[in-house]
Amino acid sequence: MFNWMKTAMLMAAIVALFGMIGAALGGQQGMLIALGFALVSNFFAYWFSDKMVLRMYNAQEVDEQSAPQFYRMVQELAGKAGLPMPRVYLIDEAAPNAFATGRNPEHAAVAATTGILRVLSERELRGVMAHELAHVKHRDILISTISATMAGAISALANFAIFFGGRSDDGRPANPIAGLLVSLLAPFAAMLIQMAISRAREFEADRGGAEISGDPQALASALEKIHRYAQGIPLAPAEAHPETAQMMIMNPLSGGGLASLFSTHPATEERVARLMAMAGPRA
């Protein structure tokens, strides 16, 4: 419940940022233009983001004939979660990772790299795919898509404001210093909020995935193993499209410095600790 409340507050904050930069760009009229821009962006993302990301990763759809063991695993877990059977994809990449996409449970897809199938045991892989199905069940894909689209739109509007300046409601030029500060800081704040939303949703998906699979210890083991392997094996599509990193079960991008602040995922150690607490004394 706490993470749901946190997500709602963060989404409200990113909408407020959108209004702020719209006002800096053109007063009340600018806010309306910004809102219209956001609606158009989100409409496009809602309908087409799944096709775009699957194409970015050159994901190939599989069925019970082409990947029987993997397909039946997803089928069994979807049944346990009370979800419609999603489309199932494999990505020919050595880096171990997985993600879910789609605008709702009826139009969802789950994808895994061939690397994760090689690295994990069957029990661990079940935990990972249960995690992805938890994202589907919680409709996290829609939330993350909207937050990413809003953050991108804020950046686009900020660039517009920097180059063309802002106007107040009566048409006079806005305070240039205030407008510049808003234009520079709003995209940065939007990025931080987007990443915080992503981290909150990952904790919820870990919990939901552990409940679906009935094996939190297996998911904890999978996260530790993916973390070890992913550090040394780059995921080329994610490097080319870093905006998709938040979709993965493990952050595929390498980075240093203020890692915890700028990461799209919680620390693996904290995720594992929470899962092991769910597993109880028997773990």
Point out the catalytic residue in the list 93, 124, 132, 204: 132
Query: Is the model's pLDDT at 97 over the cut of 70?
Result: yes
Tell me, what's the pLDDT at 6?
A: 56
Average pLDDT over residues 34-57: 78
Distance between the two ends of the chain, CA-based, in angstroms? 25
More confident residue, 29 or 270: 270
How many residues can be counted in the chain? 283
- Catalytic residue list contains 64: no
**Of residues 24 and 78, which shows the higher confidence score?**
78
- 88-103 mean pLDDT: 95
Cα separation, 274 vs 268, in Å, equals 10
Q: What is the pLDDT of residue 257?
A: 47
CB 168 within 8 A of CB 142: no
Which pLDDT band holds residue 62 (cuts at 50, 70, 90)? Answer: very high
Range of the domain at 120: 2-279
Per-residue confidence (pLDDT) for residue 241, from 0 to 100: 83
Instruction: Return the SS3 of 63.
Output: coil
Q: What's the predicted TM-score (pTM) here?
A: 0.78
Total domains, the chain: 1
pLDDT of residue 258: 46
Nearest Cα to Cα of residue 215 among 125, 138, 140, 101: 125
